[in-house]
Each structure stands twice: as structure tokens, then as C-alpha cells.
């Protein structure tokens, strides 16, 4: 193999693949990236057998085609540390010389025989969506999914496509985010799957042209994505996603419009005084203002006011401030509509036409009042 390639682009590709490769020492074969030189481009790919990505970097000149496995850790470190703008790669008998400026590295490679390469995007009905729009949908939902201890089916975002609509839902049982957008669906395909966190992160990061589209297909067990510069394929989570429609309140008794930035700032301030084990903050909506209060036996207390134009009865709820911070940070709109039914039921936070976040309050303990 022999080629010359821009260091910067290859470096970026390797950074993305870095989230996929297995840490050295666990599955040695898959701590490598596959580096292939074809006539038009260099293709680097990596997989952990759950998710894999294939990125294409246009090259100045491919001297000789070929394919090898290169250890990701050293390869990416070299790309990071060297300063030359172009690097020249020459590989022969599994030894690769990397030259750039005054530096010269020699890396021992491995053959690709046993490596299970990432299957490409393939054929079949697919939809197209703006890359940035998809990244935004992921940002608005992925934070709400369950962690590694949580129920299985909730460890990913439910992605559904039907007609011109794409919808993503993430929930951990206490809060839920749903966002909808439009897609280009030429074959009018209907598809659905639960996409794990790692794959979502990669989808959001998959490089492509600015303003370009991303093609998406959900197959029986896998999801595939493709842009002009890369392809991705990952396993779906098999499981039954809860019936989420019914947990989204139709409309609350109390509705208040709040400026997101100020809301976030108030919650953050109140959160400074919460206890470690039971972080709780009281949010009280009163005529003309919203009050944020927190108290901790060891530290002290906090109360912060925020003006708002609300004229109705008073209502007060307890929340884990972390959950409010998570959603407020994700919202790009300036205003959020806060809808409350009562202190024991879910509140809905709506931003724009397409986003709703549902959050369950904390109660002071079922054992207290009854």
C-alpha cells in the first residue's frame, strides 16, 4: 500500500473511530482500525461487533492499493502529535512507514483476514434527513435514556419512521423526551428500532458535507446510516419499549412560559444547596413569579425568584434538579412552556412545535402523609 493523505482529516476520522475500538488488551483484533487504500479514497473502519463505522477520506494520490489493520492507539497518537499537513504511508509485509515533515514512524500492522469488517449501508428502502436535524434530535433525547443498571429496553432511544415523520423517544422511567421531525421518505417505508447510546453518539458525529443529508435505514436487528463521507451500522436493542404515548400529558392545568436561559440559571443556583443523596429542589409557581428553593441540613438553604406572567392559583412541586438541568441544557429554543397538573403527576415541558419533555416529580415519601 502506498498513499499520501491529509493529516487533519485522517486524524478526525480516527478520533471518531476511537469511541468504537476495544481498549487495548480486551479484544486485541478489534483494538485495530482497518485501513484500506482504494483508487479514489482511503477508507478507515472500526467495529466492536455491536456497532461499526466506515469513514472515507479523499486522497491526493493512491500509489498502490492495499488493506491492513493498524493499532488505533498508536496510529491516532501519531496523527495527533505530528505537525506535517500531509502524511505519506507506505506498507509492505505488514510494516507501515509513516512519513511527514522530518518525522518517520514505523508501525507493525496485522493482516485483515480474521477481522470482521463493517458491512456497508447496503440496499433497501431508506429515508433521508438533514444531518444537523438528526444530531439535534439525538441531543434532545439521548440524555433521558436509562443507564447501564436500568431496564434493558430503556437503554436506548426508540426511533420510528412512518410516512414523512421521524420520531425519537428516550426515557429512563422517570422522565421522557420526545422529538419529531420531517424526513424524505421516497419509498414510504415504516420502520422502528431501539438504538443504543453509543450508536446514537456516532450517528450524531458521522462526518459529512455541511448541510448534507444522512440516509437512515432500520432493519430487523440493525440500524444503518450513511453520509457522503461515512457509513455506520449497529445492533438494535431488542425489547419492548413502553407505551409512552399515554404518559405524555395532553395539556396541563397550569401553563407558564419561561425563558430557558434564566430558568436554567435558577435551577443551577438552587442545586448548589441540595444534599448529595437526595438532591431535591422545590419549584413553586405563584402569580407573577416562580420560586426555586432548596435546603440541606448540613449546608443551609437557597431561594431564587424568577418573574413570569402567570396569574392563577399557586402550585408547588419537588424535582431532582439534575433532571431539569439536563433538559434545559438540551433545548435550543429561547422559551419553554411548563405545564403542571398537580404535585404528584408528570409535568410537560414543551419547546417549539416538535419537542416535549415529561418529568415526574419527587414526593416527600409515600410513608409520610398516609
Judged by the rule CB under 8 A, the positions of this chain that interact with other proteins are 18, 23-27, 49-50, 71, 73-74, 77-78, 81, 92-93, 95, 102-108, 146-153, 171-176, 221, 235-240, 242-244, 247, 276-278, 280, 298, 318, 320, 344, 346, 358, 360-368, 370
Please report how close the Cβ of residue 307 comes to other proteins at its closest, in angstroms. Answer: 29
Cell of 352: 417549539
Residue 333 C-beta: closest distance to other proteins, Å: 23
Which stretch of DSSP H or E encloses residue 133?
Answer: helix 131-141
Q: Could you count the other beta carbons within 10 Å of the beta carbon of residue 322?
A: 12
Selection from 246, 268, 263, 261 nearest residue 338 by Cα: 263
The Cα–Cα gap between 258 and 276 comes to 27
Query: Nearer to other proteins by C-beta: 172 or 201?
Result: 172
Dig out the grid coordinates for 236 from the structure: 438494535
Residue whose C-alpha cell reads 472500526 in the numeric block: 46
Nearer to other proteins, 126 or 315 (CB): 315
Whether the Cβ atoms of residue 115 and residue 34 lie closer than 8 Å to each other: yes
* Residue nearer to other proteins on the CB measure, 185 or 320: 320
Residues 6+ apart with CB under 8 A from 113: none
- Residue 156 C-beta: closest distance to other proteins, Å: 10
Whose grid coordinates read 449497529?
A: 234
Phi first, then psi, for residue 48 (nearest 5°) are: -115, 15
* Cβ closest to other proteins, residue 28 vs residue 124: 28
- 232 burial level (CB within 10 Å; 0-12, 13-18, 19+): buried
Return d(Cα 341, Cα 249) in angstroms, integer: 9
Cβ atoms of residues 285 and 311 within 8 Å? no
Q: Which is nearer to other proteins, 104 or 164 (CB)?
A: 104
Q: Are 224 and 54 in contact (CB under 8 A)?
A: no
Residues in the chain, total: 370
Which element (helix H / strand E) includes 202? Answer: helix 197-205
Min separation Cβ 148 and other proteins, Å: 8
- Min dist. Cβ of residue 209 to other proteins (A): 28
Shortest Å, Cβ 19 to other proteins: 10
Q: Are 157 and 87 in contact (CB under 8 A)?
A: no
Q: How far is the CB of 153 from other proteins (least distance, A)?
A: 5
Spatial contact of 221 and 242, defined as CB atoms under 8 Å apart: no
Q: How far is the CB of 269 from other proteins (least distance, A)?
A: 19
Shortest distance in whole angstroms from residue 24 CB to other proteins: 6
Nearest-angstrom CA–CA distance, 296 and 278: 10
CB-nearer residue toward other proteins: 39 or 370: 370
What is the widest separation between alpha-carbon atoms in the chain? 79
Q: Which residue, 74 or 182, has its beta carbon nearer to other proteins?
A: 74
CB-nearer residue toward other proteins: 74 or 181: 74
Nearest residue (CB) to other proteins, 226 versus 359: 359
Amino acid at each position: 500500500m502506498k498513499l499520501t493523505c491529509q493529516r487533519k482529516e485522517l486524524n478526525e476520522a480516527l478520533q471518531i473511530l476511537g469511541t468504537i475500538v476495544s481498549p487495548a488488551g480486551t479484544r486485541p483484533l478489534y483494538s485495530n482500525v482497518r485501513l484500506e487504500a482504494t483508487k479514489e479514497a482511503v477508507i478507515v473502519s472500526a467495529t466492536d461487533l455491536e456497532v461499526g463505522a466506515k469513514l472515507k477520506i479523499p486522497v491526493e494520490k493512491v500509489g498502490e492499493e492495499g488493506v491492513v489493520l493498524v493499532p488505533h492507539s498508536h496510529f491516532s497518537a501519531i496523527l495527533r502529535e505530528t505537525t506535517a499537513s500531509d502524511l505519506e504511508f507506505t506498507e509492505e509485509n505488514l510494516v507501515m512507514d509513516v512519513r511527514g515533515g522530518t518525522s518517520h514512524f514505523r508501525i507493525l500492522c496485522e493482516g485483515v483476514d480474521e477481522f470482521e469488517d463493517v458491512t456497508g449501508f447496503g440496499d433497501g428502502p431508506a429515508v433521508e434527513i438533514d444531518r444537523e436535524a438528526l444530531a439535534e434530535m439525538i441531543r434532545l433525547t439521548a440524555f433521558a435514556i436509562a443507564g447501564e443498571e436500568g431496564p434493558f429496553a430503556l437503554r436506548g432511544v426508540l426511533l420510528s419512521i412512518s410516512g414523512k415523520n421521524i420520531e425519537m423517544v428516550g426515557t429512563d422511567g422517570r422522565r421522557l423526551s420526545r422529538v419529531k421531525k420531517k424526513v424524505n421518505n421516497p419509498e414510504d417505508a415504516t420502520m422502528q428500532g431501539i438504538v443504543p447510546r453509543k450508536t446514537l453518539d456516532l450517528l450524531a458525529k458521522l462526518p459529512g458535507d455541511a448541510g448534507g443529508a444522512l440516509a437512515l435505514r432500520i432493519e430487523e436487528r440493525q440500524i444503518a446510516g450513511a453520509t457522503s463521507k461515512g457509513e455506520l451500522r449497529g445492533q438494535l436493542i431488542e425489547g419492548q419499549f413502553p407505551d409512552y404515548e399515554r404518559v405524555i400529558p395532553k395539556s396541563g392545568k397550569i401553563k407558564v412560559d419561561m425563558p430557558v436561559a434564566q430558568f436554567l440559571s435558577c435551577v443551577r443556583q438552587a442545586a448548589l444547596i441540595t444534599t448529595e443523596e437526595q438532591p431535591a429542589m422545590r419549584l413553586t409557581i405563584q402569580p407573577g413569579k416562580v420560586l426555586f428553593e432548596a435546603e440541606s441540613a448540613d449546608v443551609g438553604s437557597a431561594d431564587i425568584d424568577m418573574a413570569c406572567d402567570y396569574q392563577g392559583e399557586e402550585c408547588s412541586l419537588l424535582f431532582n434538579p439534575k433532571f431539569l438541568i439536563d433538559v434545559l441544557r438540551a433545548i435550543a429554543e429561547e422559551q419553554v412552556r411548563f405545564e403542571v397538573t398537580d404535585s404528584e403527576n408528570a409535568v410537560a415541558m414543551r419547546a417549539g412545535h416538535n419537542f416535549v419533555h415529561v418529568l415526574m416529580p419527587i414526593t416527600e415519601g409515600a410513608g409520610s402523609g398516609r
